[in-house]
């Protein structure tokens, strides 16, 4: 899978590059998920903030590449009062560290994998559902 976001091979992707790749990954989702996925806010930051890490009991910010912040669609009710929009956070430096560690994975493939994994939380997908959409392990 290749995205429309092109990154020069000699420089690491910027926040904007990662966001463009994430948006490409949303557009690559199956038709029935694409429109509701577009309603989720995508935020790209350098690293997760300390309060996020503390909530997740994670010490090392480089261990968190992405985070879904919201109420999964499978748990939402028309009676619920929204606390805010659903957000998928991507953390550039953690993604870049994993990219370098893996060595032979294309950056777009890694960003897409993180995006799909976070949308799995939003949509309430099972591991089998994820495997149909994200062929990461093949």
Q: Is residue 38 part of a domain?
A: yes
Overall number of domains in the chain:
1
User: Is residue 43 helix, strand or coil?
Assistant: strand
For residue 74, is it within any domain? no
Q: Residue 93: which CATH number?
A: 3.30.2010.20
Model confidence pLDDT, tens digit, residues 15-27: 999 999 999 999 9
Tokens describing residue 22: 């994430």
First-to-last alpha carbon distance for the chain, in angstroms, is 13
Q: Select from 136, 85, 86, 112 the least CA-distant residue to 19.
A: 112
Decide if 4 is inside a domain: no
pLDDT tens-place string over residues 59-102: 999 999 999 988 666 666 566 666 778 899 999 999 999 999 98
Residue 109 falls inside a structural domain: yes
| 39 part of a folded domain | yes
Does residue 3 belong to any structural domain of this protein? Answer: no
Mean pLDDT, the chain, integer: 85
Q: Would 35 be classed as within a structural domain?
A: yes
Question: Does 10 fall in a domain?
Answer: no
Domain that holds residue 22: 15-69+85-133
């Amino acid at each position: 899978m290749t995205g429309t976001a092109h990154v020069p091979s000699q420089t690491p992707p910027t926040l904007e590059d990662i966001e463009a790749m994430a948006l490409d990954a949303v557009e690559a989702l199956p038709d029935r998920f694409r429109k509701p996925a577009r309603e989720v806010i995508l935020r790209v930051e350098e690293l997760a903030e300390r309060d996020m890490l503390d909530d997740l009991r994670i010490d090392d910010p480089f261990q968190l590449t992405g985070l879904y912040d919201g109420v999964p669609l499978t748990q939402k009710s028309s009676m619920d009062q929204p606390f805010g929009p659903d957000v998928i956070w991507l953390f550039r430096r953690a993604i870049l560290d994993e990219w370098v560690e893996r060595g032979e994975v294309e950056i777009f493939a890694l960003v897409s994998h993180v995006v799909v994994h976070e949308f799995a939380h939003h949509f309430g997908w099972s591991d089998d559902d994820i495997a149909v959409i994200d062929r990461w392990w093949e």
